[in-house]
Amino acid sequence: MAAARSKKYARPVFIVDGSRTPFLKARGKPGPFKHAELGINAARPVLQRMPFSPEDFDEVIMGSTMPGPDEANIARLVALRLGCGDKVPAYTVHRNCASGMQALDSAAMSVASGRSDLVLAGGIEAMSRAPLLLHDKMVGWLAKWWGSKTFSAKMKTLSSFSPAMMTPVIALLKGLTDPVVGMNMGQTAEQIAYRFNITREMMDQFAVDSHLRLHQGHENGELSEIEPIYDSKGNLYDFDDGVRSDSTIEKLGKLRPAFDKPYGQVTPGNSAQITDGAAAMVIASEAAVKKFDLPVLARIVQTEWSALSPSEMGLGPAHSIAPLLKSQKLKLDDIDYWEINEAFAAQVLAVVAALKDKDYCKSHLGSRSAFGEIPHEKLNIHGGGVSLGHPVGASGARIVLHMAKILQQRDAKRGIASLCIGGGQGGAMLIERESN
Amino acid sequence: MNESIVDWITETDDQGVLWLTLDQQGTDTNVLSSSVLDQLNLLVDGIVKDIPKAVVICSGKTSGFIAGADVKEFLAVTNKQEAMIMIKRGQNVFSRIESLPCPTVAMIEGFCMGGGTELALACDYRVGLDSSSTKIGLPEVKLGIHPAFGGLVRSTSKINPMHSLEIMLSGRALAMKQAKAMGFVDLVQPKRQIRRAAQQIAFSKPERQSLPMLGKLLSLPGVRNLLSAYMKKQVAKKAAKQHYPAPYAILDVWCQYYGNKKRIMEEEANSVARLIQGDTVRNLIRVFFLQTQLKGLGDKKYFAPKHVHVIGAGVMGGDIAAWCALRGFTVTLQDREPKFLSKAMARAHKLYARRIKVLHERNAALDRLIPDCKGYGVEKADVVIEAIYENSEAKHEIYRDIEPRMKPDAVLATNTSSIPLEELAKALQEPERLVGIHFFNPVAMMPLVEIVKAKQSSRQMIDRAVAFTLHIGKLPLPVKSSPGFLVNRILMPYLVEAVFLHDEGIAPEAIDKAAVDFGMPMGPVELADTVGIDICHSVAKNLSAAYDISVPAGLEKYVDAKKLGKKTGSGFYQYKNGKAVKNRDADLGDQKMIQNRLIFRLLNEAAACLDEKIVDEVDLLDAGIIFGTGFAPFRGGPLNYSQQKGSETITGTMQEYGSQFGERFNPVKGWRLLKSE
């Protein structure tokens, strides 16, 4: 094994393998799989490939932002249902859109510190199953109703009822609105598009590319980490079903802005889809790799987290990539492939623009010169959130897993996976693969 | 107390409760033998002299409470007097317990069956353990009798007769939730509370279980006749009176004598004393012991597999995989492409929805069933079952691929029914590891699995296959590797004869009636339609190459016309909503002749199999045919039937048929191995 070059991880951390479910577009009703089922389906195939038993894990860490009401600490639930046995501890992490990457970083920290040798980590989200909540007024009214003992008290309570109280609170929309700056995520994308002069055409072109690249990737079998899943009726799901192989700039051009109505540019077509999915990876120490003679897909070199104004959360990746490159003394060109989560086409384009903008690099990223331009052909080569969706807790794990697979497929050395995080943060992870 | 009391442990606790723990010596399972009942009687003598605060009856076995009466003792009964002595012994003790002046409680942990349930019903209160292995039932009808120790009387006087009669008629065991709802138990408590619950219910003396309003209404004289007539009709759909008199006897005793406590006790005893003398009871007890015998052919401890890999997700492969996961195994299911797994996964969901009522347990079974088109499971599996279509090259290719990847001591099994294992083993580096594990369709319903011993199969692998079969809750039957093995080979001449009869112009209804009247679960014509005429045709062709079985022209005609039976909506019968449309006015022809022709072919083939040592002995052959085909259980199996009927009588008639209908009826030489009673 190569000696650790990471300054951040005290011991080397390896990605052994991983698999994920297809990402399934939400169709306006609860999807066919609950959070736990997605997590189990994501992890079972990779566990079948491993020479060790699920009971050999030291811990299980999952990222998830809104598991079902009966799925508290989803990581433990998944661990138990995967057959890890009673004795494997598990916890769930929440860093909004980066929860899946946070799970990997937590696993990496645990391995690097020597606490664990073998960790199952990943992310899970069934966004179609985000709950509808009762309005506070309705809850208050119900409390009053249950407290009304006599007939006359009941009548009195009844008279204070208004049907408007029954309007449900949509948890998903609440989750996608920043409570501090009062903007929804789409509006933050509009904000940075404005700042970097990203046009509607640029966004739509990026979205079309995303779909066509994903379609091509499916066709070429380059998304081998996807494992088929079956619902209770036996229906088979074996690819990311939000993909539109017939996407064109003309079609996307017809869509109306969804957030800054009516003059905005961010539309459902150039934003990430609402999607269900999960990914799971095996993270190991050098000792575990030796003990079980495990294959190594890549090494996690370093992870950087950064924060910025919630109103510009989409630029988070730039704020994490910059210190990551600096700390590793790498130039932008040293990176072979990039995965930047597509929360919004505008937002990814703004990140690319920021990193090549000398002024922005100087004033915000602490660099005397610009980092340069991430080449389009090295960025999200098999699509991203716009085409395959962004199940919030799962995406961070998906992009790292896919980056590891790309490095393997193309016999490349370095890749960075990065995403923006609602609430004004960014995360970036550098992984490296030993050349064959 | 008394020195002769060896099976019961008595202990009075500091609250003054007397705990009677049954821990029968020399066995893992408590049964109410004469000796156990006599000892209980002695204990009651003591209790009557010095009345405790309460009596709790419980079991010292981890396996369960009480499995029932001692079935072996039934076989020793030769006349009515002996039967009455045996029955009265139980009735007396239980009545004495019922009339004790102190509260009595049965604390039921694990199964509580037959006589055990009757004892529990004689107690004032019944407390059940909250666990899925705790079941209560009155399964006596399965042995051709009914409760005799006052169980019929007490269950119908405490529990709504709709429920109590149904439980006795079906013989099914109740889980605690249902048992509580019906009133078979008063309380259901977890292990951590059950002793306290038993004590407290005795001390607090809540009202005892009695008939609810509806139950009282249904037990009124005229209403009883109506209910009993209705229930007889229901029973008749499943069991004919001439073959299974016991359920009818239950209804007769209840209907005629309910309300007269003394008389009905007497009649309950009389009825069972009558039933117990017939061949039906003997044969059903034989079936019960055959089951035990098959279970004893292997040792679960010898091999403890955890992971099963199934290749081929067709009806058989998919259902085998689903069954194994249901039984607690981790199962990986492989087929060429993901889409081929869809139907298997849908069927598994359906099976689990039906079989597993507790949601988290159902999820656990689904979690264990892992779609695995890339075949990763091969390397992890302790048992690999190949169940792809019948093509030896395709099977060879799979074996060559998986053998080097399998764990060194894993079992490699094929579910083939038509390709010789010796031929399949040619593709293996270690041919000795291949055995046949041959399931029957529908997997979830059929209890038998044939373990096919090929010439090259190693003893070790066969023993493992047998142990595995026991682990998945099926009955293993080791058979010699020869075309059709045992079950298909014996069944096929019978099916073929049915087609000959049909070709001769006899109505399918007439053919099926003759078989059902004999006691078969389904007529051969309908069976052929259900299995699929194409499948029957290919099995028949396969067997005709090896044995003297000619394939009737009718079979081929239907295959060519793509009328393949139920699955195509039309075969020998037409199908409407999955049910055969039968002509009620069909000409029934010479029923005796039809029945003889069908059954003789089956018996003749059975004798041939015995002669060729396809299985090791008569009992195993009978067991195979009963559990593999549903052959009239009350007849105790084809060879048992032949011997009871007199093999000379049968072969005599067969010779006549031989000259009349063809050589296929000439008795084979295997008949000489059978004796007549």
% pLDDT > 70, chain A: 98
pLDDT reading at A4 higher than 60: no
Q: How far apart are the first and last CA of chain A?
A: 13
Asked if residue B522 belongs to a domain, the reply is: yes
Give yes or no for a contact between B137 and B173, defined as CB atoms under 8 angstroms apart. Answer: yes
Residues of B in contact with A51 (CB under 8 A): 379
Confidence of residue A5 (pLDDT cuts 50, 70, 90): very low
Instruction: Looking at the structure, tell me whether residues B451 and B527 fall in a common domain.
Output: no
CA distance B449 to A210: 54
Distance from CA of A230 to the nearest CA of B (A): 7
pLDDT (tens digit per residue) in B62-120: 989 999 999 889 888 888 999 999 999 999 999 999 999 999 999 999 999 999 999 99
Instruction: Looking at the structure, tell me whether residues B340 and B235 fall in a common domain.
Output: no
The residue-averaged pLDDT of B149-171 equals: 97
pLDDT reading at B148 higher than 90: yes
Report how far apart, in Å, the C-alpha atoms of B128 and of each of B178, B301, B491, B586 are: 11, 30, 44, 52
pLDDT (tens digit per residue) in B636-663: 999 999 999 999 999 999 999 999 999 9
Residues of A in contact with B379 (CB under 8 A): 51
List, by residue number, the catalytic residues of B: 417, 438, 450, 488
Contacts with B, A 140-159, CB within 8 Å: none
pLDDT reading at A231 higher than 50: yes
CB contact under 8 Å between A83 and B330, yes or no, is: yes
Give yes or no for a contact between B435 and B467, defined as CB atoms under 8 angstroms apart. Answer: no
DSSP assignment letter at B323: H
**Predicted pLDDT at B254:** 97
pLDDT (tens digit per residue) in A19-37: 999 999 999 899 999 999 9
Mean per-residue pLDDT of chain B: 94
Asked if residue B292 belongs to a domain, the reply is: no
Give ipTM to 2 decimals: 0.91
Tokens read off for A397: 């794990």
Instruction: Looking at the structure, tell me whether residues B241 and B183 fall in a common domain.
Output: yes
CB contact under 8 Å between A48 and B377, yes or no, is: yes
Secondary structure (DSSP) of A389-408 = ---HHHHHHHHHHHHHHHHH
Tokens read off for B563: 């009328």
Q: Which residue of A19, A55, A236 is the best one to mutate when testing the B interface, meaning the one whose CB has the most B CBs within 10 A?
A: A236
Which one has a higher pLDDT value, A195 or B548?
Answer: A195
pLDDT (tens digit per residue) in B564-604: 999 899 999 999 988 999 999 999 999 999 999 999 999 99
B338 close to A (CB below 8 A): yes
Asked if residue B388 belongs to a domain, the reply is: yes
Instruction: Looking at the structure, tell me whether residues B268 and B318 fall in a common domain.
Output: no
CB contact under 8 Å between A230 and B341, yes or no, is: yes
CA distance A396 to A343: 11
Q: Which of A210-214, B360-364, B672-676 has the lowest mean pLDDT?
A: B672-676
Mean per-residue pLDDT of chain A: 94
Instruction: Looking at the structure, tell me whether residues B470 and B499 fall in a common domain.
Output: no
**Predicted pLDDT at B172:** 96
Q: Using the structure block, give the residue that is written with the tokens 């009971």.
A: A55
The continuous run of DSSP H or E covering A327 comes out as helix A316-327
- The model's pTM: 0.92
The residue-averaged pLDDT of B469-484 equals: 96
Query: In chain A, whose CA is at the least distance from the CA of B328?
Result: A83
The domain of B64 spans 8-277
Q: Which of A196-205, A348-357, B318-327, B542-551 has the lowest mean pLDDT?
A: B542-551
Our CA dihedral for B257, B259, B265, B267, rounded to 10 degrees, sits at -10
Query: In chain B, whose CA is at the least distance from the CA of A233?
Result: B346
pLDDT (tens digit per residue) in B361-415: 999 999 999 999 999 999 999 999 999 999 999 999 999 999 999 999 999 999 9
% pLDDT > 90, chain A: 86
Secondary structure (DSSP) of B220-277 = SHHHHHHHHHHHHHHHHHH--TTT--HHHHHHHHHHHHTT-HHHHHHHHHHHHHHHTT
Query: Pick from B480, B511, B533: which residue ends a domain?
Result: B480
CA distance A152 to A155: 5
B373 close to A (CB below 8 A): yes
Q: How many domains does chain B have?
A: 3
Instruction: Looking at the structure, tell me whether residues B269 and B364 fall in a common domain.
Output: no
Instruction: Looking at the structure, tell me whether residues B432 and B549 fall in a common domain.
Output: no
pLDDT reading at B1 higher than 80: no
**Predicted pLDDT at B676:** 65
Query: In chain B, whose CA is at the least distance from the CA of A51?
Result: B380
Asked if residue B382 belongs to a domain, the reply is: yes
CA distance B536 to B626: 20
pLDDT reading at A1 higher than 50: no
CATH number at B539 reads: 1.10.1040.50
Residues of A in contact with B367 (CB under 8 A): 40, 44, 81-83
pLDDT (tens digit per residue) in A326-341: 999 999 999 999 999 9
Q: Which of B74-78, B250-254, B483-487, B509-513 has the lowest mean pLDDT?
A: B74-78
pLDDT reading at A2 higher than 70: no
The residue-averaged pLDDT of A173-197 equals: 92
Instruction: Looking at the structure, tell me whether residues B261 and B314 fall in a common domain.
Output: no
Q: Which residue of B310, B345, B347, B366 is the best one to mutate when testing the A interface, meaning the one whose CB has the most A CBs within 10 A?
A: B345
Asked if residue B294 belongs to a domain, the reply is: no
**Predicted pLDDT at B677:** 60
Distance from CA of B413 to the nearest CA of A (A): 21
Angle (CA) B502 B505 B511, round 5°? 45
Residues of A in contact with B345 (CB under 8 A): 230, 234
Q: Using the structure block, give the residue that is written with the tokens 């169980």.
A: B151
Distance from CA of A375 to the nearest CA of B (A): 35
Instruction: Looking at the structure, tell me whether residues B115 and B230 fall in a common domain.
Output: yes
CB contact under 8 Å between B332 and A232, yes or no, is: no
pLDDT reading at B675 higher than 80: no
Instruction: Looking at the structure, tell me whether residues B84 and B120 fall in a common domain.
Output: yes
CB contact under 8 Å between B339 and A236, yes or no, is: yes
Counting DSSP H helices and E strands in chain B, the numbers are 28, 20
CATH number at B352 reads: 3.40.50.720
Query: Pick from B447, B480, B513: which residue ends a domain?
Result: B480
**Predicted pLDDT at B127:** 98
Q: What is the CA radius of gyration of chain B?
A: 27
**Predicted pLDDT at A3:** 34
The continuous run of DSSP H or E covering A92 comes out as strand A90-93
pLDDT reading at A435 higher than 80: no
The continuous run of DSSP H or E covering B119 comes out as helix B115-122
CA distance B436 to A83: 30
Give yes or no for a contact between A91 and A121, defined as CB atoms under 8 angstroms apart. Answer: no
Asked if residue B290 belongs to a domain, the reply is: no
pLDDT (tens digit per residue) in A40-98: 999 999 999 999 999 999 999 999 999 988 999 999 999 999 999 999 999 999 999 99
Query: Pick from B452, B480, B508: which residue ends a domain?
Result: B480
Give yes or no for a contact between B604 and B665, defined as CB atoms under 8 angstroms apart. Answer: yes
| Nearby residues of B240 by Cβ (< 8 Å), 6 or more positions away | B517, B519
Give yes or no for a contact between B236 and B34, defined as CB atoms under 8 angstroms apart. Answer: no
Instruction: Looking at the structure, tell me whether residues B124 and B205 fall in a common domain.
Output: yes
**Predicted pLDDT at A8:** 73
CB contact under 8 Å between B342 and A235, yes or no, is: yes
Contacts with A, B 297-336, CB within 8 Å: 330, 332
CB contact under 8 Å between B370 and A44, yes or no, is: yes
Asked if residue B549 belongs to a domain, the reply is: yes
**Predicted pLDDT at A436:** 56
Q: Using the structure block, give the residue that is written with the tokens 């309300």.
A: B259
Q: For residue B292, count CB atoms less than 10 angstroms from its CB and return exposed for 0-12, middle for 13-18, buried for 19 or more.
A: exposed
Instruction: Looking at the structure, tell me whether residues B475 and B340 fall in a common domain.
Output: yes
| Nearby residues of B128 by Cβ (< 8 Å), 6 or more positions away | B108, B112, B134, B136, B176, B179, B180, B185, B187, B188, B189
Asked if residue B2 belongs to a domain, the reply is: no
**Predicted pLDDT at B2:** 62
